[in-house]
Each structure stands twice: as structure tokens, then as C-alpha cells.
Structure 1
Amino acid sequence: MTSPKPPKLVSLADVSKSTGKMLSRGAFSELDTGASPTLSELTEALHFALGDGRIWLNDQRMVLMQSQVLGRLRQEIIDAFGMEAAKGIFMRVGYMQGVRDAELILKRFPYQDLTHALAAGPRVHTLEGFVKVETKQFEFDSDKGRYFGEFYWYDSSEAGEHIAHHGLASEPVCWMQTGYPSGYTSTLFGRPVIFREIECSGMGASRCYVVGQNAEEWGEDAPERAYLGLEWPRSRRTARSRSKKAQRGDDRASANPAPTTGGDPVVGVSASFLRARLMVEKVADTEATVLLVGESGVGKELFSQQLHRLSHRATKPFVALNCAAIPDTLVESELFGVEKGAFTGAVASRPGYFERAAGGTLFLDEIASLAYAAQGKLLRAIQERVIERVGGSKTVAADVRVIAASNVDLADEVRAGRFRQDLYFRLCVFPISIPPLRERRDDIPLLVDHFLRLFRERHRRQVVGLTRRAMDALLAYDFPGNIRELQNLIERGVIFAEPGGFIDLQHIFTANEPLPSSHPSLTREGRLIYGQPSLSQAAITPDFLQSSSHIRSAELDLYRQALNAHRGNVSAAARSLGISRAKLEYRLRKNGIYDKD
């Protein structure tokens, strides 16, 4: 396993600069008791999509796995690769888990300063069930690039599994758990920070004692640098080696580019999506005719464009034709072209879609709507690779790769007598099924980020992002219109939301869309409850209330309820309402129900 590439460690600083609330120094001792985000607030991010096979921590998919199974996997890796290699593997796994959780905190609590964000790490780690973390102390100075922290770990699952297989150890064994705070803190702090166990319950201690500090403070003897990919080049030879690794990484990145407005529009990480994409890559460099099957709005044309880009025809035209948009009487002339004088009004010769796509790719969308008579002529064009213009007397070579798409089952259409069987078999050389969005919910967060970037730029609206309940609703929504509908919802939200604010439910679901049913979340006692708000409830936000003088009392009640729910913590109350702390404080002062002094 190769070492991970250290993350770009600037996210929190970027957020803090935009809010003006960055503290360059801080310490755990300076936090108020019960400082946000609390464990209770973090549990609100955990949702179980019962019956759907998914568990979500904010917009990240999680998996429940028995600790004993993870312990057995650990043992298998130790047996296969040895203790030292297994240590590096599990540290890297923990490191990447910490990186992802740091990103979660930045996204869910974007107004937190560094002290609060660092304090949240132990709570997230505790929430995920690996170990109970108690913060002894930490302090940092971001101007000087210094961090130091001490923590106690109780009931370490990793230590317990190691003892079960090997007995008491002679050195610390909580490898994945020490990788976790290294990744989490390094991501937030902006410099490599390494955590190390000084005492470990796997060695017989009553609890684990963990210390984290800047990587360079551990001196030369710090194998964690290599385990976590934090080695610094100490010679030209090492630098060249790292440069080659970086180049290989760049090559991999270019082969699978990140979604941007001008890059690869086919975005996803779910298993069903990757299976479809793999099939596209498999057939792309051949001449085979491809049939894309899927519901309306799943992105069949985007997949066809991707197939064209990956083929050797990429430098030639990509021409798309919606067969449903052509009247039956014009299908033949549109596909094959017209010779001058072929019929009344044909005052000039005109090439058809086959000729326009010469040397390239012709995409025939909604192929099932093609007139039955035209299907026979299309079959001949594909099979013989020649066409004749309407009114013409000579054949024209048709060097075209055909990709067809249908949102209905063509086999059913054949049985119903509406589609030619011979054309169906000619098109169905290499069928690819594009999954609907409800079957690839793992891709929703990626697609939301992609569309947010796209529409922020297009409409010049700098919204921050989605509120928790808006994202929860999207993750639970069935999307009858698939990706096209998600795109419309995000565009609508970007337009409706206030500049610098968040997109909430009332900004998205404004066209009588069926709201997702309530879904379970965790109580303080760790039990599942159903509590997804309806649109009528969710729409009662401060921005909505502020626009109507007739419901001033409801506005004040909303503020009081939020403050009571968070025990007077204005920052936490503001987050629950989807507005900034400054905005809530201003409105509280204006209505005489808050006095900071």
C-alpha cells in the first residue's frame, strides 16, 4: 500500500478569513463547558436510512462493522505482511478517517474557530465507537505553527482485539486510533501533526495516554512520518523519488479529473455508477454500437459524451439527435439529408445527421420514439455503413459510431410490436444500464458540490452551502427526475437563498415536490427516532419570519426556543436556525431579549 498524499491543509483558514473569526492562538482550557459542537449536536448528524442499506454521518456514508470482524481483519493483515507493515497500513487508514472527519466538521460547523474545531475531534472519535476520548489539554499557536495536546483513551476496541489475538503487547498497538488524530489535527491545523501513544491499554495500562505535537518535534526517530506519507525530502535522490510519485499521482488525477464546470461532467463514487462508468471505459476504444438504458434524467447523454471523449474518434464531431423531437415525416431527411429538388421546398441540398457526424459519434436519444418505417432505414445505415439522401441517386459512406439511448425497455417494445427486433439486436451490441439517482445516493453529496460550484459561478451568487436539514432531505428524496431534477433543485436554491447565506428546504422544494418521509436519527440516549421536519415547519426560518410583520410573535418564539434548546448558547442556536451568530445576536438585541453585557 502506498503512503497517502497529505491533504491540502488550508480549509479552516479559508473559512475563518471569510468570517473574520480566526483565532491565531487557543487552548482547550479556554473553552466554555459544553462548548459546541457537543456530542448531542454531533449525533444530529448521524442518520439511518432504514431499509435503504445506508448510514450517513452528515453527507458521508458510514458502515457498521463488528469490532471482532475488524480485529480478525487486523490479524489477517499481520499474518500476511508482518507486524510492522500492518502497523503502517492501519495508521494510514486511521489517518484518512481523521481527514474525512475534519472535512465533516468544516462543512457542518463552518463558523467554528480552530479551538472549537480541534475540540470536536475527540467527540467525533468517541461517537464512532472506537474509543472513549477524554481531552486532558491542548494548545496551539497557528502564527508560530505550534501544536501540543494530551488525551486519555478508555476502552480501546483496537487494544482489546490485539490482546484477544496476541495477549499483552510490548509496545503500543492502537495504530488506527493514533493515525486518526494525526489526520484530523493536521488537516485543521495546516501543518503535519503526529500523535503517539505513551501508555497503551494493550500493554496492560488502565487506559491509553496519547500525545500529539508537530511532526518535527518528535526528532529523527519518528517512523510515523513514513507511515503517514509525511516524510520530507532530505536529499536530491529522495526529492526526485517524491517528484516521480507526485507525477504518477498527477497522471492518475488527469485520468479521473475532478468535477468542474469545464471538466468531466460524469460525477460519482457509488458502486452502481462506477460499474456503468467501467463499462463505458471498456467499450470506448472499440467500434461497437452502444445502447444506453435508463430513466429520464439519469445522464445518458453525458455518458455518451464521455464515451466519445475516450474513443479514438474524440477529435471528430459528436452529434446528438433527440428522435422524439422529429416529426415522422421528417425523420428520413433529418437522418440522411436531402438533395436539391427532392420535394417542394427543397431548394438546396442539405446533409443529414449521419453526414454531420462523419468520422465521429452520432447519439440517438429516445430511440424508441422513432417511426417504425424509419427504423428499417436506420438499420440499413448502421449495418451497411452507407446512406442515401432523400431524392438522391448515389450512396454516401457513413463512417459513424452510433450510440443509442432509451428510457423504456426496448425488449418490451419489440414484444409489443412497436420496435423492430432486427434493429434492437443491432443496437444492443453492448448495453449499459445507467442507474437512477435513488440507487446511487452515495453520489448525491458529490453532485451537490458540483452543481453548487457550477451555479455559483453562472448566477454570481456566493451562497455558503446547504443547511443540515436540506442535505438530509436530498439524501432521503427519491428524485423521480433523477440528476436533472437535482440540478434544478440546486440551481433554484442558489437563486432563492440570500447571498452569503445557506440554502434551506424552503429554497429548494418550491414546486410541490413530494417531500421525503421522516427518517430516523439518534436521541441523547442513542436510540433511533423519527424527526424530519415537514416543509411547512422547515419553512419557518428567521429569514422567512423577518419578511412578514404579521408573525412577529412567532419569530420571537422561534428565537427563544432555539436559545432554550441550546441552554443560552447563541452560536449553537444560530446554527440550528441556519443563520450566522452575528445576525441572530442583532435580532435578539433588536427585540430586547438578549443583552451581551
Structure 2
Amino acid sequence: MRASDRISLADVARATGAALGSFDSASVTKALGGFASTHIGGDTHPTIADISECLFFSPGDGRIWLQDQRMVLLHTEALGSMRREMIDSLGIEKARGLFTRAGYVSGARDAQLVRKHWPDADPPAAAMAGTRLHALEGVVKVELVSVTYDPDTSGYEGEFLWHNSSEDDEHIAAYGIGGSPACWMQVGYATGYVSTLFGRLIVFRETMCRSMGEAHCRVVGKSADKWDDIEEDMRYLNAREFVDTAAYARPLPRAAELPAVDAPAGDAMVGASSAFNAACHQLSRVARTSATVLFTGESGVGKEKFASMLHKISPRKDQPFIAVNCAAIPETLVESELFGVERGAYTGASHSRPGRFERASGGTLFLDEIGALSFVAQGKLLRALQEGEIERVGGTRGISVDVRVVAATNEALRQAVREGRFREDLFFRLNVFPIHLPPLRERRDDIPLLMTHFLNHYRRKHGCNAGGFTHAAVRALLNYDFPGNIRELQNLVERAVIAADVDGLIDVHHLFTGGEALNADIMTLRMQGSSGTLNFSAPAATSAALTPNMKVTEHSLEQSERDMLQRAISACHGNLSAAARQLKTTRPKLAYRARKHGLI
């Protein structure tokens, strides 16, 4: 879609002369507590005017955009009707969980938008942008009471008042005044926004609500480890009961109190993104059956963890769970490893032994990297699946086995079938109930939760008292592509916990010491007057403006940026969208920098 086809809310306001509203700078600054060292108010970017530049209407093709995210205008009565039907059909507990998780995803998306388009915004300004976005989206008016943030410990505490809650309007209309808070999506939104912004789990609770007869709603947000009973909150945030809740709030014991044997880091299912929750729903649905399940996804996304959890929540949970890495078995030994050997079957077979199918009888057999099996081994596996019977190497009788087979692959098996590398009949036998696990870069909402989980685990395991993550480390992890997925994040956090100073914070140099390829936009130097600040978004205009022969002076970088912006805006006759396309940047970024230089 051409940018000229879209009309932003700010364009409408400029054309009509209508005011977009502002925040009272003095009251906001007073309430900022631990943030107060940095001035923030209605004129601090991103302002509500900046944010409104991101909202576009495209009436011609029926789409509304919040920057690059598609939005919809929905009647609150329609949302209230859906809410009422979900409560009546699912029960209030399940409905509350669904709305909380939907709000979490919405908040996480808005936080990603703010990080992407205002990378230079200070933490308090970025945090306040969430309240402005929530108001702009028509959900609720947010009033800041107080907020503190300790960068040394990453501890957060905030208190807000909510006015004109759309959720309360519909809940009260349907059920009247009750005894429990009803702003479920808004609580999820606040949790998702602030957790994604600061890179650690920060949980919000509604302590007062209009649905309980109060004049307004009051919410309190704290870092997860500051709440005494976080399990209740996580019950609504997690899609299924088997998703870990205690991992976020376990206190760090002294080194002398560490248990002698600790559980491996992969024991907990951690996540709250829509992709993660969708996989959990599928897992729960198929677990009660005996159907064959095929997990697909890149290496390191947690296929074996999901397979293990499938077994634990199935009726076979008291029977064996046997895992086999097909790629690790030599082709000559595949048959004996899977089906067993009779005594004397070949030289060295001095005694009979059962194979993995027999050992897993009554339980679950997990075949990882199933695509690595040879064509011959695939044929023998197919027969075992079809007949429910195996025959040991050197044996003369069939042995019946009752095994649920769960397979996993990081290959595209359909493509392997087309290329003749995988049997089509075996593929259809395995592909009864496929579950795709997306890579971590496609479920970034889960990164803050996983960071917190692995940090707590490895602090206990290694007796290291790392205090948390710096803002630079959080931004680096949130912008990293994770080619190794969750396994790589786990390794990075373990490495950093060991490398960090006692009671110190984990920084970028503690994490990326193994040759990882960081995003080129991370950690660039921006000159501002006579000082420089580290930031995470190198402007294309600035880097293009400098040439090898240019004499770099104290103000050359800033002046070069101003000159290039001025030339682009003039060439496009004041059309900021066109100028942004010319400079290969976004309109909000260009508008922010142009306003900073006094060009608009």
C-alpha cells in the first residue's frame, strides 16, 4: 500500500485544528519517583502527537494501521457480547485467562512498536508511551500515581489510576456491580507492555475496580519477585496448568542452601505469547488420546520438552518415556536399537536385549530428528507402526507392543517426500497430529519470561548472585535473532551468570562472547552537542551523510543529519512520508528527528 493512500490521525488533527490532548508535565514528573532524574512530561518524546503519527486510516481498502500493525475499530458492545458469551460458556476463570492473555499480547506488541520507532527514548518516556497508546486506542484513560525503577536491581514498582475503562462499561452492563475486578485485558496489557519493555516479568494487579463499585480503577505493578503469591497471577497469564508459574518468583537461596541435585533448566514450560499458548492448547487437546504426534520446528525450539510434557499430561504418564535421537544412531545399528536383538543374532550378541519399542511399551517413544533415518530404517519403522508389532534382530516371532509414537523434525518432511528422501506412507503415518513450534524470533513476547526463568535457575545452580540485566543487555537480547532459539538463549544466560561480577548486573559483554553475530544496529554512538550517548538504532541518514574525506568536528554528525533531513524534506515538498521513504527510514523516526532540529 502506498503511504499516500493512508491518512494519519495527526493529519486529521492538523487539518481540522483539533487538539490531540496532552499530559500535565508537572504532575507526571512529580509522580515519577525513581525516574525523576530524567524530566518527562507532555513534551517528552514519544508524545501523544508522536504516537498519533503512527495511526493510519486506509478507507479505500478497509484497513487501519498502527505503524506496521493492522488494527480494527470494534464496537465495545460487540466485545462485551463476546465477553458475556465466553463467561457463560467457559466459566469466569477460563474467560478471564483468555482475556488476560489477549491483553498481554496487545501490550507486548505496543512495547515492540515503541522500542522500534523511538529507540532513543529514555526508559521513563518509553514506559509512559504505553499509557498514551492505551488511551489512543480507546481502552482507558491512565493517570500516573507513582513509579520507581532501580537500574541496579531491575526492580520496578508502579501505581496507576484507570478512568473510563471500556471493559468495566460492558462488564457492569452485563453483570452489574460485583465483588471482583473486571479489567482483565487491561491488566494483561500492562503486564505485557512493561515486561517486554524492561525485559523481565513485571506483574500488574487491579486492587480497585469500578466493577466493584469504586469511583475508578487502581492498579499496582511490581517485579515478579516482589509479589508474595504470584502463582495466582500466572494462572491467568498461562494457557495451561502445565506451564510453569513458580519459576518467576523463586527467591535466591544462599550458596550453602543450594540443593545437592538441581532440576535441569528445561524442566519448566515458560511462555505467554500467542504462538506458545496455541501450541499448549494443541498439546492439551491431543494428550488425552493415543494419536501419533509430529513436532516440527527449528533446532532448539523445545520439541523434546513439548514431547516430554505431552507424556506427563497423558494417561500414559505412569509408564516409560523413551527418547531416541535418530541422527545419533549409526545406520547399521538402527534396527537393533529400535527393535532389540536375540542372542546369537550376530557376532558379539552374547545375550538378548529389548529395543526401544519394547522398553517404551505402555508409554511413549519419542523419535527425534526422524528425517535422519535411512530409507531401509523408515520401511521397518512403518511396519512397526502399522502392525503394532516388532521383531528382534535374529528373532523368529513377533512381539506386540503398545507404544505411542511421538516424532520430531527440523526438516520440511513434505519437501523431503517430494525429493524422494522420505517415504510418503511413513510421513502420513506420522503426520496424524502435527504441532509446529515457531522459532524464538517469532515469539519475542516470551523472551523476557525466559530470561527471568533461566537467570533464576542458573543463579541457584551455580551459586552466582548476578543482580539482573542492564538495559543494554535487555535490548541486545530482544533484538537478537537467536539462530539457536531457546537453547541458545539458555546458554547465553548461563554464560553471563558465570561471567558477571558478584551482585553485579549482566551486560552485553557478558552475553555475546562466543562469536555471535549481533545486529549491526546495536550499540552505536550518537553525538548530541558535545556529548555522546550509546543507543541502538543507527540512523541511515547519519551514516550516509559522512564520507571518508569529511572533516569530523564536534558538531559534524548532528549538522550532517540536519542537512540531509532538510534536503529530503525540501525535495519532497514537505511530505514527511515521502522523505522517510527516500531516506529508508520510518515516518515517525524522521518526524522525531526533524522536530528535534527545528525543521517542522
- TM-score interval for Structure 1 and Structure 2 normalised by the shorter chain: 0.5 to 0.7
| CA shift for structure 1 position 257 | 3.8
1:419 is matched with 422
Residues 123-171 of structure 1: CA distance to partner in whole angstroms, max 9, x if unpaired? 9746865699898999xxxxxxxxxx999x9xx9989xx9xxxxxxxxx
Shift of 1:438: 1.0
Residues 135 and 337 (structure 1), Cα distance of their counterparts in 2 relative to 1, 3 Å cut? closer
Q: Provide the rounded CA distance (Å) in 1 between the counterparts of 2:146 and 2:317.
A: 58
Structure 1 vs Structure 2: percent identity of aligned residues?
46
Q: What does residue 464 of structure 2 align with? A: 461
Deviation at 1:518? Answer: 2.0
Correspondence for 1:240: none
Contact residue 294 and residue 407 of structure 2 kept, 8 A: yes
Residue number among 481, 487, 507 corresponding to 2:510 in the alignment: 507
Task: From the superposition, tell whether residues 127 and 307 of structure 1 become closer, same or farther in structure 2 (CA, over 3 Å).
Answer: closer
Amino acid paired to 1:350: R
Q: Does 1:272 align with 2:262?
A: no
Equivalent position of 1:24 in the other structure: none
Contact 2:321/2:366 (<8 A) preserved:
yes
Give the drift of 1:31. Answer: 9.5
- Out of 241, 253, 258, the residue aligned to residue 245 of structure 2 is 258
1:390 partnered with 2:401: no
In structure 1, give the amino acid aligned to 2:37.
S
What residue is the counterpart of 2:213 in the other structure? 223
Q: Does 1:531 align with 2:535?
A: yes
In structure 2, relative to structure 1, the CA distance for the partners of 1:194 and 1:437 (3 Å cut) is closer
3-state DSSP of counterpart to 2:341: coil
Whether contact under 8 Å (1:354, 1:400) holds in the other structure is yes
Could you tell me whether the CA contact under 8 Å between 2:244 and 2:268 is conserved in 1? Answer: no
- Paired AA for residue 536 in structure 2: Q
Q: Which runs of 5+ in 1 are unaligned?
A: 1-27, 54-62, 83-88, 105-116, 139-148, 163-174, 197-220, 231-244, 535-597
Give the AA of the match of 2:335.
E
SS of the residue 2:295 aligns to: strand
Q: Which has the larger radius of gyration?
A: 1
Contact 2:308 2:321 in 1 (8 A): yes
Displacement of 1:457 = 0.9
Aligned pairs for 1:192-231 (under 5 A) are 223-224=213-214
Deviation at 1:517, TM superposition (A): 3.5
Q: Is 1:342 aligned with 2:345?
A: yes
The 1-side partners of 2:32 and 2:218 are apart by 30
- Give the partner amino acid of 1:448: M
Q: Which residue of the other structure, out of 286, 290, 296, is the alignment partner of 1:287?
A: 290
Q: Distance in 2 between matches of 1:35 and 1:252?
A: 37
1:277-328 Cα distance to aligned partner (Å, 9 max, x none):
2221111111111111111111110111111112110111110000111111
Q: Confirm or deny: 8 A CA contact 2:342 2:351 kept in the other structure.
A: yes
Structure 2 counterpart of 1:409: 412
Cα pair 1:293 1:431 within 8 Å, conserved: yes
Cross-structure match for 1:39: 40
Q: Which residue of 1 aligns with 2:308?
A: 305
Q: Does the 8 Å contact 2:340/2:356 carry over to 1? A: yes
- Contact in 2 for aligned 1:333/1:389 (Cα 8 Å): yes
| Amino acid paired to 2:498 | I
Quick check: 1:519–1:532 contact (8 Å CA) kept in 2?
Answer: yes
Distance in 1 separating the partners of 2:73 and 2:421? 58
Q: Return closer, same or farther for 1:439/1:132 CA change in 2, 3 Å cut-off.
A: closer
1:42/1:350 Cα in 2 relative to 1: closer, same or farther (>3 Å)? farther
**How far, CA to CA, are the matches of 1:80 and 1:427 in structure 2?**
37
Whether 1:399 aligns to 2:402 is yes
Q: Distance in 2 between matches of 1:291 and 1:328?
A: 22
Shift of 1:398: 1.3
1:299/1:483 contact within 8 Å kept: yes
The verdict on how the C-alpha distance between 1:259 and 1:324 changes in structure 2, with shifts beyond 3 A counting, is farther
SS in 2 for 1:224: coil
Q: Counterpart of 1:388 in structure 2: which amino acid?
A: E
Structure 1 equivalent of residue 498 of structure 2? 495
The corresponding residue for 1:296 is: 299
Closer/same/farther in 2, CA of residues 492 and 252 from structure 1, 3 Å limit: closer
CA distance in 2, matches of 1:43, 1:312: 55
Residues 26-175 of structure 1: pairs in structure 2 closer than 5 A: 35-36=36-37, 38-39=39-40, 73-74=75-76, 125=131
CA deviations over 1:490-525 (Å, ceiling 9, x no partner): 11111111111111110011112111242799x9x9
Distance change in 2, residues 1:378/1:35 (3 Å): same
Kindly state the Cα deviation for residue 250 of structure 1 after the two structures are TM-superposed.
Answer: 13
**Partners in 2 of 1:411 and 1:223 — Cα distance?**
58
CA RMSD of aligned residues (A): 5.5
For 1:382 and 1:278, how far apart are their aligned partners in 2? 26
- Give the secondary structure class of the aligned counterpart of 2:414: helix
Take 1:294 and 1:30, find their aligned partners in 2: how far apart are those partners?
46
Secondary structure, aligned partner of 1:445: helix
What whole-Å deviation, never above 9, does each CA across 1:379-418 have from its counterpart, x for those lacking one? 1111101111111112111111001111111112122222
Conserved in 1, the CA contact under 8 Å of 2:298 and 2:439?
yes
| Residue-by-residue CA offset, 1:524-573 (whole Å, 9 max, x unaligned) | x9xxx993179xxxxxxxxxxxxxxxxxxxxxxxxxxxxxxxxxxxxxxx
Give TM-score, length-normalised by structure 2: 0.53
Consecutive unaligned residues of structure 2, counting only runs of 5 or more, are: 1-28, 56-64, 85-95, 112-122, 148-158, 170-181, 192-201, 221-231, 248-262, 539-600
For residue 316 of structure 1, the aligned residue among 316, 319, 328 is 319
SS of residue in 2 equivalent to 1:405: strand
TM-score with structure 1 setting the length? 0.53
Does the CA contact (< 8 Å) of 2:31 and 2:145 recur in 1? Answer: no
Contact 1:122-1:133 at 8 Å conserved across structures = no
The answer to whether the Cα contact below 8 Å between 1:39 and 1:127 also exists between their aligned partners in 2 is no
CA separation of 1:339 and 1:38: change in aligned 2, threshold 3 A: farther
Q: Distance in 2 between matches of 1:79 and 1:350?
A: 62
CA distances 1:236-267 after superposition (whole Å, capped 9, x unpaired): xxxxxxxxx99x98999845441636796222
Contact kept in structure 1, 2:40 and 2:125, CA below 8 Å: no
Specify the alignment match of 1:452 in structure 2.
455
For the Cα contact (< 8 Å) 1:259–1:265, is it kept in 2?
no
Structure 2 letter corresponding to 1:39: I
Q: Kindly indicate whether the alpha-carbon contact (under 8 Å) linking 1:259 and 1:450 is maintained by their aligned counterparts in 2.
A: no
